A and B are shown apart, each in its own frame.
Chain A
Amino acid sequence: MWVTITQYIFVNVLLFSSWYIYLFTKRASISFVDRLIGSCVLGLAQIIATELVLGLIFRMLYAGPLFWLNVFMSSTLLAFTLWSNNSSTSTMGNVVSELNEKVCGFYRTMRSDTLLVVLFILLAIKTCWIVFIGYLFPSYTWDSLYYHLPIVGNIMQSGAILENPDNFQIDTFINIFPKNMELFFLWNVIFLKSSSITDLSQLLFIIIGILTTYSIAVKLHIGAKSALFSSFLIFFTPVVILQINTNYIDIAVSVLLLTAVNFLLYESLSFDNSSLPVEGHNRKYPLFLAGVAAGILLGSKGSGPLFTIIIVSALIVQEIIKHRKQIYPRDPGEKGNFMRSSMIPYTLYFFLPLIVLGSYWYIKNWVLYGNPVYPMEVSVLNITIFKGLYKKMLDPLPSLIENASYFIRLFHVWTEKTEFYLYDSRLSGLGPLWFILFLPSLVFALLRSIKNKEYNWLFVSILLIVTFAVHPRNWTTRYTIFMVALGAISYGSVMDFFGKKGRITSIIALVLAAYTFLTVNSLCVMPAKIREFMDLPEKERTIARHKPFNIDIHARQEYGYWMWISNYIREGETLAYTFEPLFLAPLWNDGFSSKTVYAGPFNNHDWLRKLKDRNVTYVLLRRHSEEDIWIEKKSRALTGIVEESGRQQVEFQMVFSDDNYKIVKLVKAKKS
C-alpha cells in the first residue's frame, strides 16, 4: 500500500512543481498567484493529455505507463527549465526564496486583520473536515454512481477510452459526455488502486477558485486585504462546501471559466497595465494559460461549448474595439497589421490549446453520431442543424418554480425555500452571502464601473453576467457558482470603497460565513455514521453500509449485492450483469480493478458461450428472471450444477442470494 501512496505523491509533486518552476522563469510576464494557478492548470492539462494519448492511441491506460510517461515528461520539463537558465541552483534558490517571501507576506496581511484571521480559521477547519469525510466515506452522490464513476470504471477495465455498447439509456450518455474531468477522477484512483480520495478531486478546484478570485480582484485594483477577504468568502457557498467531496464537476467548470477570464485580463482593453501585477508584459503566456483553462473546460461538460462561445465572442469584440483604428483606418498612417498583432497570437496561443484539450469529445460525437452534442438536437430559427434524440433538457423543472417567471424563479431559489442543503439541490445552494451581501455589492460595483468607465470591470462583469443570462438552467445554483465569485469580487470593491467605514459589512460577511459554516452539514453524513465508519477498516467503508438518505429509498434493495461485490470480487475478475442496475459504479470493486460486462439479452442457446468468451467470473441475476429460471431448470440443486457447454463443463455456484438478486460463480467443473 505504501508503495502506491508514495508513487501517487511522487508523480503529483513532480508534475505540479515542474510546471511551477517552468512558470517561475516567466515571472516577468505572470504574477506569483497566476503562476500558482497556471501550474495547477498546466499540471491538469498534462494529466488529461497523457491519459488521452495512452487511452486513445496506445490503449495502454494503466498505472505503469501513465506513471512513467508523466515522470518522463515532467523530468524533461524540469531539466529543460533548469538547463536553459544556466544556474539550476540559483533558479531553485530563487523559487524557494520567493515562496518564503510570499508566505511571509500572506502572514503579515492576515495578521493585520482579526476578521480575516477568523475567516481563514473557519475555512481551514471546514476544509479539514471535508477532507476527513471525503476520505472516510465512499462516493455517495447520485450522478457519481450513475455515470461519473462508471466512466472511470469503463476506462480502467479496458485500459482504453472506448465507446461502449448502448445497452441502456445511461450508456448513451456515458458515451457522449465529454470526459476531461473523469480523466482527473481516474488519476486519483489508478495509482492508489482505491477510490477513497477520488471524491476529493474538486478540492483542487476550490483552491484554484480562491486564488483566481483573489487574482481577478487584484487586477481590478482591489486592495490585497479586501481581495483576500472576498476570495475566502466564495468558499462559504453551501453548494460548494457540499460538492467538494463528491465526484461532481460543477465547481471545476465554474472555476475553469473564472481561470480563463483571469488570464484574459492580461489582454486588458483599458491599456492600463498598471493593474497587472507584473514587470513586463508578454501576452503569449497568459493567453496560452487562458486557452488551456478554456480547453479543459470545453472538454469537461456539455455546457462547455456555450461557455467557450461566450469567451471567444467577448475576445473578438474586445479585439475589434482594441484594433478598430487598424481595421477601419481614418488615414493611411493608422493602418496596422491586425492579423499579425491580434489574430496570429490568438490562434497560436489561445485557440490551439483550446481545441487540443477540449474538442476531441465533440469531434468523436460528430463522427460517430453525426452531431457534436448528441443526443441534443441543435436547431436555429426552426432549422435543424444537427439531428438528435432530444430537443430540450430531459430533467423537468421542479413543480414549485415550473410556472414562475424568470426573475421569480431566481428569487425563489436565491431565498432558499428548502429544508436542507444538498450537493445538487435545485432550489437552494448559493447561501446567504450571495443574496444578502454579494447581490447588492454586484449592482453597486457594476454601476460604479459604468460611471467610472472601468473597462476591465465591465469586461469581467459582462462576460460572466451574459454567461449566466444565456445558461438555460441558470436557476440551478450548482451551474452558476462563477456568479458567486463575481459577487465576492464586487464585495471586495465595496469594502475598498467604504474603507474603515465599511468595517461593519466585514462583520456581517463573517457572521454569514459562520452561519453557513454551521448549517451546511450534509444530512447524508450523520455523526453516528461517522463514528461507525471510524471503527471500520477501509475495505468495509462501503456505500451499502453508508446508506445515505439521498439514495437510500431507491437503493436499499441493492445493498446486499453491492456489499458482496465489494467484499469478494478481486482484481481481474469479471462480473456480468443481466439487467439495468440502479447504478453501475457499485458493480466494480473499490479500486475499479475488477471488470463488469452486460450479459444480455438472454438467449438460452449461446448465453453460456457468451459468458465464457468474456471470461466472466460471476453473474448477477434478478430472481425469477429468464436467466435465473434457466439456471434453476438445469439444476437439481442450486449449487453444483454442471452444464455441458462445448468441450468444457461449467459449474454455476450460487455465492449470494437475497429476496431480489442472486450472484452465481462460474467455475470450471471436473468432468464426471
Chain B
Amino acid sequence: MTEEQKKDYLYFLFIITVIMLAVLYFTVPERSMIIENQMQWWKEFKETFLGFLS
C-alpha cells in the first residue's frame, strides 16, 4: 500500500468518525431544546432590532 493510499484510508476513517460523533451529538434530545431557545432569542432580537430601526 502506498503512502497516498494509506492517507486515503485514514482520511476515510477520520471522516466516518466525525460523522458518527456529529450524529451522536445532534441527536441528543436536548439539542432541539437549545435550538428552540435560541430561535426564540433570535426572534426577539429581530423584533427588537426592527423596532429600533423604526
Contacts and interface: CB of A to CB of B under 8 A. Distances in A.
B28 A417 contact: yes
Interface of A: 415-421, 432, 435-437, 439-440, 444, 494, 497-498, 501-502, 504-505, 508, 518-519, 521, 523, 526-528, 530-531, 534
> Per DSSP, are chain B's interface residues mostly helix, strand or loop, or mixed?
helix
B50 to A, nearest CB: 11
B25 A432 contact: yes
A439 B21 contact: yes
A519 B36 CA distance: 10
Interface string B8-28: 101100110110011011101
B11 A420 contact: no
A439 B17 CA distance: 10
Contacts, number: 82
Nearest to A437: B18
A432 B26 CA distance: 9
> Per DSSP, are chain A's interface residues mostly helix, strand or loop, or mixed?
helix
Contacts of A504: 15
B48 A530 contact: yes
B18 A440 contact: yes
Interface of B: 7-8, 10-11, 14-15, 17-18, 21-22, 24-26, 28-31, 33-35, 37-38, 41-42, 44-45, 47-49, 51-52
Contacts of A534: 52
B25 A435 contact: yes
24 contacts: A416-B25, A416-B28, A416-B31, A417-B28, A417-B29, A419-B34, A420-B33, A432-B22, A432-B25, A440-B14, A440-B21, A497-B7, A498-B10, A498-B11, A501-B7, A504-B15, A505-B18, A518-B42, A519-B34, A527-B48, A527-B49, A528-B44, A531-B48, A531-B51
A267 B24 CA distance: 41
A415 B35 CA distance: 15
Q: Which 3 A-B pairs have the closest CB atoms?
A: A527-B48, A419-B33, A527-B45
A521 B11 contact: no
A521 B43 CA distance: 12
Contacts of A421: 34
Given A440-B21, A527-B45, A521 B38 contact: yes
A490 to B, nearest CB: 11
Contacts of A415: 24-25, 28
Given A501-B7, A523-B37, A527-B47, 20 more contacts: A415-B24, A416-B25, A417-B30, A418-B34, A419-B30, A419-B37, A420-B37, A420-B38, A432-B22, A432-B25, A432-B26, A439-B21, A498-B14, A501-B11, A508-B22, A519-B35, A521-B42, A526-B41, A528-B48, A531-B48
A531 B52 CA distance: 8
Contacts of A523: 37, 41
Contacts of B35: 519
Contacts of B37: 419-420, 523
Given A435-B25, A508-B18, A420 B34 contact: yes
Contacts of A528: 44, 48
B15 to A, nearest CB: 7
Contact of B18 (A436, A521, A527): A436
A527 B25 CA distance: 28
Contacts of A432: 22, 25-26
B14 to A, nearest CB: 6
B21 A435 contact: yes
Contacts of B24: 415, 435
Contacts of A519: 34-35, 38
Given A498-B11, A528-B44, A518 B34 contact: no
A523 B34 CA distance: 11
Contacts of A527: 41, 44-45, 47-49
A528 B47 CA distance: 9
A494 B15 CA distance: 11
Contacts of A437: 18
A418 B42 CA distance: 19
Contacts of B11: 498, 501-502
Nearest to B43: A527
Nearest to A520: B38
